[in-house]
Amino acid sequence: MNRPEPDSRDLFAIADLAKEFGISTRAIRFYEAKGLLAPERVGATRIFRRRDRARLILILRGKRLGFSLRDISDYLSLYDADRSQQVSLLIGKVDERLASLQAQLSDLQTTISELKEIKKLADERIKQAG
DNA sequence: ATTCTCACA
DNA sequence: TGTGAGTA
């Protein structure tokens, strides 16, 4: 395979990025298949530039924050088109995500309370029996 | 070593 | 949302 020159600071092979970010080359190709990345090609080999690498970083950050690839894709698509619409979309998605996390937190707190109550009653029964 | 596709969870 | 296998 023709790989980008090792010393060329803004050309990356798929394996370079996979290694750098601790993800599989399969995952990177998957993101491309989903339209989140569009690296150049030299024949069949993907050539990633700094811009592609920056997009990958945004993708991974979005994932960490719990957004779907679809959400991330929608957001990235607006980078060139409409920046203010991109910001609006971001605000909406963040609010949505925040609400979802708050709901999950609430559910967890309820579950934790129930478990603590069960434990409390169980502990009391142990004392009576023992 | 890299690419693509299909099956699979 | 990815992975594994087989392929060229």
Answer for the pair A8, A16: CB distance below 8 angstroms, yes or no.
Answer: no
pLDDT at A80: 86
Residues A75-93: what's their mean pLDDT?
A: 91
Contacts by A17-20, CB closer than 8 A, 24 or more apart:
A17/A48, A17/A53, A17/A56
For chain A, what percent of residues have pLDDT higher than 70? 94
d(CA A60, C1' C7) / Å = 30
pLDDT at A123: 96
Residue A9 pLDDT greater than 90, yes or no: no
Answer for the pair A15, A39: CB distance below 8 angstroms, yes or no.
Answer: no
The tens digit of pLDDT for each residue in A17-58 reads 999 999 999 999 999 999 999 999 888 889 999 999 999 999
d(CA A50, C1' C8) / Å = 30
pLDDT at A4: 56
Residue A108 pLDDT greater than 60, yes or no: yes
- On the 0-12 / 13-18 / 19+ scale of CB atoms within 10 A, A97 is middle
d(CA A26, C1' C5) / Å = 13
Residue A1 pLDDT greater than 90, yes or no: no
User: Could you list the protein residues whose CB lies below 7 A from any atom in strand B?
Assistant: A 1, 3, 13-15, 25, 29, 44-46
pLDDT at A122: 97
